[in-house]
């Protein structure tokens, strides 16, 4: 974990080195000031030597300026190093997330990743700055002050030693107890962020069902859990200050009482006593700084683990050595394919799938909810790897391709359509960043999206709100289809991507595909038989298996499930899930 985090210091190593150097210099200067002050009192004030006072006063002023400069430089480099460290952590996490396969992403919730990129990294940033500055300054100040105190009077300095041992044991006790609570706190933050995210994403549903009070109550519960965990942790941490103050005042009383007796006895001077009191404050303030570092490190320990998890997570899918860079054609072959989302699953999602699809064919896929239609097509672009068997595109196993090359030739319009904030053109150019406006218009005509775009005030320069909230479901689907077509793919997969489109527009899209991109293999997942009836062949999925594969006419003759759905839909109003295994129409 530590190695993972320190690897992100990178170009900020110099600043990370200079920060403790300047902090140590500041400590050395601060340690010298009490010595000069003691000399000033013993040989200047008590002797009445004004010139000596001026001389030592000038030295103290120079030391103070030197302490100020080194302190400022230490703070500057510390802030620079910690901010850069946090930037690199966020970059490393975000970059690694982009390499994740779907199975990797399934391990982390969206809310958890957001918490790790924000709250957890901020905790580490603060902890890193504290370690560079306070974790260097406090021990250095403690050691220097203790050495000077023993040099002046070992008997009185032993009081410091007792105080240091007592406080050290107490801090270890607090740290061990509080760490557990802080680790739980950040897990509760995930729940809090999840509640906010879910509520904002579904705000229209919340308002439609008048559930604002329910959502508010749910959020308050999440807030209360975070509050309760913080209270438990802080109850332990706040004990630090009163114990620290008790120790400071006890030391001052002990030094004053013992020092006064020694001054009367002639074994200690007034200046030396004042220096010892100053070093007392230095030592105990150093312990207080260390306690603050311990608290921050305690809080950030859980954050460090969570951030390291994201950085160290290795993508389940990787490019092979000497990958194939070109996809020859759009032919697809499934050879005895089994697939499970988890390796330890007892029952596979897809079972013994055998398919052979020719380049340029239009293949319809129909099946009930949970029949693994989407799982089937996800294997083609290698969003997941098969558990056994093989999937071939263009005659080559998809695992032998460079993933970017494969996915550039296998365009997928997913069941959940996503548009990004930006203009229509910017969204379309996700398919091809160098596409001209004319090319964008062309694919929009194929996807029947140009009709509504031309009616918009700014046409192709119309701004799309985040998530595409200012366009309808059908319009969003057509824009996503156009975006996929811009890739000029050899395989086009439409995962129930025309469900929000009216029947007439759906027919126009299918006709345009047949006429304009005949060489592209098209796989269309649909619930309406009318959407796939004219396909070259149709796959009927049932509980992870292929129940039937053939033309519409062939399935009408020999596939009972297909017959039931067709008859119910011709009759009007039926869908696959309602009629599968139901009463024959």
> d(Cα 519, Cα 479) in Å, to the nearest integer?
22
> d(Cα 404, Cα 267) in Å, to the nearest integer?
82
- The answer to whether residues 306 and 119 touch, using CB atoms and an 8 Å cutoff, is no
* The two three-digit tokens of residue 15, written as one number: 């600043």
* The two three-digit tokens of residue 379, written as one number: 């294997």
pLDDT at 233 exceeding the cut of 50: yes
* Nearest of 347, 337, 353 to residue 389 by alpha carbon: 337
Segment 360-371, tens digit of pLDDT = 888 888 887 778
How sure is the predictor about 572, in pLDDT bands with cuts at 50, 70 and 90? low
How sure is the predictor about 227, in pLDDT bands with cuts at 50, 70 and 90? confident
CA dihedral over 483, 485, 488, 490, signed as positive or negative: positive
* Nearest of 139, 3, 6, 9 to residue 80 by alpha carbon: 9
Segment 519-561, tens digit of pLDDT = 888 888 887 787 788 888 889 888 888 888 888 888 888 888 8
- Of residues 377 and 434, more confidence is placed in 377
pLDDT at 502 exceeding the cut of 80: no
Q: How far is CA 169 from CA 253, 344, 490, in A?
A: 22, 46, 69
pLDDT at 23 exceeding the cut of 60: yes
- The answer to whether residues 485 and 446 touch, using CB atoms and an 8 Å cutoff, is yes
337 contact partners, CB below 8 Å, separation of at least 6: 350, 352, 353, 354, 379, 386, 388, 389, 390, 391
> d(Cα 481, Cα 484) in Å, to the nearest integer?
5
- Which residue in the block uniquely carries the two structure tokens 């007796």? 261
- Give me the long-range contacts of 37-45 (CB less than 8 A, separation at least 24): 37/271, 37/274, 37/275, 37/278, 38/152, 38/269, 38/271, 38/272, 38/274, 38/275, 39/271, 40/271, 41/269, 41/270, 41/271, 41/274, 42/269, 42/270, 42/271, 42/272
pLDDT at 485 exceeding the cut of 70: yes
- The answer to whether residues 280 and 160 touch, using CB atoms and an 8 Å cutoff, is yes
Cα angle value 167/173/178 (rounded, 5°): 120
Highest mean pLDDT among 287-296, 322-331, 464-473: 322-331
- Of residues 572 and 94, more confidence is placed in 94
> What pTM was computed for the model?
0.67
How sure is the predictor about 207, in pLDDT bands with cuts at 50, 70 and 90? confident
pLDDT at 415 exceeding the cut of 70: no
Angle between helices 212-237 and 154-201 (to 10 degrees): 170
Looking at the DSSP assignment, which residues form a beta bridge with residue 410? 491
The overall average pLDDT reported for the chain is: 81
- The answer to whether residues 474 and 502 touch, using CB atoms and an 8 Å cutoff, is yes
* Nearest of 582, 544, 534 to residue 561 by alpha carbon: 582
Q: How far is CA 48 from CA 28, 42, 55, in A?
A: 29, 10, 13
The per-residue b/e assignment along 522-551, b for 16 or more CB within 10 angstroms, e otherwise, is: bbbbbbbbebbbebbbbbbbbebebbbbbe
pLDDT at 401 exceeding the cut of 80: yes
Within 10 angstroms of residue 351's Cβ, the number of other Cβ atoms is: 16
Segment 24-82, tens digit of pLDDT = 888 888 878 877 777 777 776 766 678 777 888 888 889 889 888 988 998 899 899 98
> d(Cα 73, Cα 82) in Å, to the nearest integer?
14
pLDDT at residue 581, rounded to an integer: 46
> d(Cα 122, Cα 2) in Å, to the nearest integer?
17
Domains parsed from the chain with CATH numbers: 2-312 (1.20.1560.10), 332-579 (3.40.50.300)
pLDDT at 20 exceeding the cut of 50: yes
CA dihedral over 291, 297, 299, 302, signed as positive or negative: negative
Percent with pLDDT over 90 in the chain = 2
* Nearest of 398, 255, 384, 381 to residue 335 by alpha carbon: 398
CA dihedral over 153, 157, 158, 161, signed as positive or negative: negative
Name the strand (E) or helix (H) holding 494: strand 491-495
> d(Cα 485, Cα 116) in Å, to the nearest integer?
36
CA 528 to chain centre: 39
* The two three-digit tokens of residue 461, written as one number: 């320069």
pLDDT at residue 582, rounded to an integer: 43
Lowest average pLDDT, out of 116-125, 339-348, 531-540, goes to 339-348
Q: How far is CA 410 from CA 98, 155, 316, 360, 394, in A?
A: 19, 81, 20, 13, 11
Segment 158-174, tens digit of pLDDT = 877 787 788 778 777 77
pLDDT at residue 571, rounded to an integer: 60
> d(Cα 2, Cα 5) in Å, to the nearest integer?
5
* Nearest of 395, 193, 163, 153 to residue 274 by alpha carbon: 153
- The answer to whether residues 499 and 471 touch, using CB atoms and an 8 Å cutoff, is no
Radius of gyration, alpha carbons of the chain: 36
pLDDT at residue 500, rounded to an integer: 65
Dihedral (Cα; 82, 83, 84, 89), 10-degree rounding: 90
């Amino acid at each position: 974990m530590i190695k993972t985090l320190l690897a992100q210091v990178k170009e900020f190593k110099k600043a990370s080195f200079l920060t403790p150097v300047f902090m140590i210099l500041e400590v050395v200067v601060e340690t010298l000031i009490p010595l000069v002050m003691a000399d000033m009192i013993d040989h200047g004030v008590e002797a009445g030597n004004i010139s000596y006072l001026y001389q030592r006063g000038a030295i103290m002023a120079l030391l103070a300026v030197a302490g100020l400069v080194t302190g400022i430089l230490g703070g500057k480099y510390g802030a620079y190093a910690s901010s850069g460290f946090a930037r690199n952590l966020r970059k490393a996490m975000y970059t690694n997330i982009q390499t994740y396969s779907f199975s990797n992403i399934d391990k982390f919730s969206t809310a958890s990743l957001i918490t790790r990129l924000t709250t957890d990294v901020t905790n580490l940033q603060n902890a890193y700055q504290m370690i560079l500055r306070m974790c260097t300054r406090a021990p250095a100040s403690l050691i220097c002050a203790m050495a000077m105190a023993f040099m002046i009077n070992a008997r009185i300095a032993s009081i410091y030693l007792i105080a240091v041992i007592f406080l050290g044991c107490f801090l270890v006790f607090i740290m061990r107890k509080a760490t557990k609570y802080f680790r739980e706190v950040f897990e509760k933050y995930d729940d809090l962020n999840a509640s906010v995210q879910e509520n904002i994403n579904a705000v229209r549903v919340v308002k439609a069902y008048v559930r604002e009070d329910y959502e508010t109550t749910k959020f308050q519960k999440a807030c209360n859990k975070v509050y309760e965990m913080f209270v438990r942790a802080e109850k332990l941490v706040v004990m630090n200050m009163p114990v620290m103050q008790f120790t400071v005042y006890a030391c001052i009383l002990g030094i004053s009482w013992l020092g006064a007796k020694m001054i009367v006895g002639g074994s200690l001077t007034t200046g030396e006593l004042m220096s010892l009191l100053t070093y007392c404050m230095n030592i105990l303030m150093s312990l207080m700084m260390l306690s603050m570092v311990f608290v921050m490190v305690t809080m950030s320990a859980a954050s460090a683990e969570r951030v390291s998890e994201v950085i160290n997570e290795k993508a389940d899918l990787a490019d092979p050595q000497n990958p194939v860079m070109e996809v020859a054609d759009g032919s697809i072959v499934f050879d005895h394919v089994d697939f499970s989302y988890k390796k330890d699953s007892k029952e596979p999602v897809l079972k013994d799938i055998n398919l052979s699809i020719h380049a340029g064919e239009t293949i319809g896929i129909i099946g009930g909810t949970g029949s693994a239609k989407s799982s089937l097509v996800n294997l083609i672009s290698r969003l997941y790897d098969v558990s056994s068997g093989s999937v071939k595109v263009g005659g080559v196993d998809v695992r032998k391709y460079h993933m970017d090359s494969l996915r550039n030739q296998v365009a997928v319009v997913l069941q959940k359509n996503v548009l990004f904030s930006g203009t229509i053109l910017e969204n379309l150019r996700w398919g091809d960043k160098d596409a001209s406006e004319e090319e964008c218009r062309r694919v929009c005509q194929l996807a029947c999206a140009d009709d509504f775009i031309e009616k918009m005030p700014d046409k192709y320069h119309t701004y799309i709100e985040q998530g595409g909230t200012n366009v309808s479901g059908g319009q969003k689907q057509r824009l996503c289809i156009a975006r996929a077509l811009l890739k000029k793919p050899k395989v086009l997969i439409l995962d129930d991507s025309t469900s929000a489109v009216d029947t007439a527009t759906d027919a126009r899209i299918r006709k345009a595909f047949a006429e304009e991109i005949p060489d592209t293999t098209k796989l269309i997942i649909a619930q309406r038989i009318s959407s796939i009836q004219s396909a070259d062949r149709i796959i009927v999925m049932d509980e992870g298996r292929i129940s039937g594969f053939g033309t519409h006419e062939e399935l009408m003759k020999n596939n009972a499930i297909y017959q039931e759905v067709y008859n119910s839909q011709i009759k009007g109003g039926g869908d696959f899930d309602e009629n599968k295994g139901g009463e024959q129409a």
